[in-house]
Amino acid sequence: MKRWIAFWNIVTKDMRAYYLKPPNISWGLIFPLAWTGMFFIRSGSGLDSVPTLLPGVIAISILFGTTSLLAVTVTFEKKSRSFERLLLAPIPLELLMLAKTSGAILFGVVNAFVPILLALFLADLSEVSWITVVLANLMIAISSTFLGLFIAVSVSEVFEAQTFSNFFRFPMIFLCGLFFPISALPVFLRPLSYLFPLTYGADILHGAIHAQSVFPLGLNFSIIAGFCILLFYLSIRNINSKWIM
């Protein structure tokens, strides 16, 4: 019980201190709106393209929302040494890091609903499997957050975290099948696509929104869950070896 009091308070503290701050709320709203506008206008095929573009816009909104904030908050707290307070608390490191990432996961899920709400007004989404969309959003948010955590614990400066994030994020926009299928990529780039968890999350969304997925649903969820476990494990290992010297 005591551990969960700590867990809940870390989550709520982070929400208040970081995620619910006006600049971050506006970032969370404006960023998905900008992506949505940019891709719909660029597609040139009018409102018919909404269902095909929506999975990519959702995924990209979650990816940028989670990785940007988590990389900053964890790296900033480490730099200012307030993270030591958490390391000194009598709670297991795994639970502590789950608490630190829960706020970002929630932020990512909320981000995902900005383009969804917009799309509801623009297109007929009656065929969409909403349960799968919600679950996919959650899994994308978890895997992106853990990717952000992995980045945050691998660097020591906030600017390094941002730079390192972009090293992953920008290739992911093109390699993960968000706006065009992986089969349209040059053959030598295709294997890279399967190294990113977002590929599988986007595939679930494509299947749930316009019934065009490559892999079976169960396989996609299993692979993305595997990525989550791997990234979290690597992050904890990095904290143990780099931060508790």
Partner 1 sequence: MVVPMDAPDPAISHPRDRLALIEVTALTKRFGSVAAVEDVSFSVFQGELFGFLGPNGAGKTTTINMLTGLARPDSGKFVVSGLDCTMNPKTAQHLIGVVPDESNLYPELSGFDNLCFCASLYGMCRLERRDRARSLLAMFGLEDASDRKFGVYSRGMKRKLTIAAGIIHQPEILFLDEPTTGIDVASARQIRQLIAGLHDAGTTIFLTTHYIEEAERLCERIAFIVQGRLVRIDTVANLLQPIQERKAILISVTNTVDDLHGKLAAAFPHFDFQAVSDGQIRVESEDTINISPLVRLIEDQGVEVTEARQLKPSLEDVFVRVSGIELEAMRKEKEKSGGGSA
Which amino acid does the sequence have at 18? Y
Which residues of the shown chain bind partner 1 in the complex (CB under 8 A)? 1-3, 5-6, 8-10, 13, 16-17, 80-82, 84-92, 244-245
Supply the minimum distance, in Å, between the C-beta of residue 17 and partner 1. 5
Q: Who contacts 86 (Cβ-Cβ below 8 Å, separation ≥6)? A: 10, 77, 96, 100
Q: Which is nearer to partner 1, 7 or 31 (CB)?
A: 7
Q: Which is nearer to partner 1, 93 or 214 (CB)?
A: 93
Sign of CA dihedral 76, 82, 87, 89: negative
Nearest to 24 by CA among 89, 138, 110, 123: 110
Supply the minimum distance, in Å, between the C-beta of residue 35 and partner 1. 29
Supply the minimum distance, in Å, between the C-beta of residue 185 and partner 1. 43
- How many whole angstroms separate alpha carbon 120 and alpha carbon 125? 7
Owner of token pair 């494990």: 233
End-to-end CA distance of the chain, in Å? Answer: 30
Supply the minimum distance, in Å, between the C-beta of residue 11 and partner 1. 11
Q: Which is nearer to partner 1, 76 or 168 (CB)?
A: 76
Owner of token pair 């790296």: 75
Q: Which is nearer to partner 1, 11 or 152 (CB)?
A: 11
Supply the minimum distance, in Å, between the C-beta of residue 234 and partner 1. 19
Beta strand spans in 79-232 (E): none
Q: Which is nearer to partner 1, 86 or 122 (CB)?
A: 86
Length of the chain: 245
